[in-house]
Amino acid sequence: MNKFVHSFFFSNYFYGCCVVALSVETNFQLSTALNSAFYYLLIFAASVVYYTKSYTSEASYSQPNQRAQWYRMNQTKVLYSQVILSITAIVLSAILLYQQHSAIKQLTRYEWNLILIFPFTAVLYYGSIPPKNPTHNLRSIGWLKPFVIGFVWTGVVSIYPLIFEAIESRKHFEPHWLAWMFFLKNFIFISILCILFDIKDYAADHNSRLKTFVVRLGLRKTLFYVILPMALLSFISFIIFTISRHLPLSRILVNSIPYILLITVTWSMQRRKSILYYLAIIDGLLLVKAACGILGVLLLK
């Protein structure tokens, strides 16, 4: 069981599950049809491949920590996983392109911009930006790093399901302002988790002079002057979203659970935590948020 837990979290399969769950939550919360099974499998495979490739390319891969040790001991397993998931992603992409080629041809410039901006930002996160310097990328801007990750994640789980649902329904994507409010709510929530995750890398970031929030402000100020106000802002945007949709109290209460847990986890970060705590508990709030969002809708049925 211990080996399975480590493999599940360290191999980034958990992130793939979170991406799928949050995408399904978007479909439920915004009352759209579910996407095809091929679409969910594609974003699962692509997410795992991207995160694994990114991690094995980082300097942290060679550091003496539990996660890096797992990667060094399971290089062959990770390689097989990457090859299988990459092939799966390519095949699924080809199938979806074949099935939806006529609808894709009709996409507007606005729709193409929304589709391309998130992977483009993900590439710039690790790739070089002008001036072309291999160490000059969005990740090197410490205070911006969590918001870049939050932006890409939110686009993939909050915008892509709506765009591809429109493609599958042979219609154009014309988001209501509620969709953008939902995007904002998710963006703030995910960005907060990214800032919390930076606490784990405080020593490495400090040594490499990467000015993240926790390096600039220290742990306590980051928790109480940055994260808690952002959590309150995220909760306010959630309340506005629910009031705008005239949602019943039972659904509001269920969807409030992730925000209560977020504040609880933030308070707990005053003490040192293990890498599994960050992966299972902090990032686990993504899965909790998705589950509560889906359950809140199902309660009305």
**What pLDDT is stored for residue 301 in this prediction?**
60
pTM of the predicted structure, to 2 decimals: 0.90
Mean pLDDT confidence for 8-28: 94
Q: Which of 272, 138, 137 is closest to 203 using CA atoms?
A: 272
Q: What is the DSSP letter of 211?
A: -
Q: Which of 121, 125, 233 is closest to 184 using CA atoms?
A: 233
Rounded to whole angstroms, the Cα distance separating 285 from 242 reads 20
Q: Is residue 179 within 8 Å of 162, Cβ to Cβ?
A: yes
As to burial, measured by CB atoms within 10 angstroms (0-12 exposed, 13-18 middle, 19+ buried), residue 88 is: middle
| Dihedral sign of CA atoms 140, 142, 143, 147 in order | positive
Q: Does the structure show a pLDDT above 70 at 62? A: no
The whole-chain average pLDDT of the chain stands at 86
| Dihedral sign of CA atoms 295, 299, 300, 301 in order | positive
**What pLDDT is stored for residue 135 in this prediction?**
58
**What pLDDT is stored for residue 27 in this prediction?**
95
As to burial, measured by CB atoms within 10 angstroms (0-12 exposed, 13-18 middle, 19+ buried), residue 106 is: exposed
What digits encode the pLDDT tens for the residues 48-58?
A: 999 898 888 76
**What pLDDT is stored for residue 267 in this prediction?**
85
118 pLDDT band (50/70/90 cuts)?
very high
Q: What is the dihedral of CA 39, 40, 41, 43, to 10 degrees?
A: 90
Rounded to whole angstroms, the Cα distance separating 156 from 20 reads 10
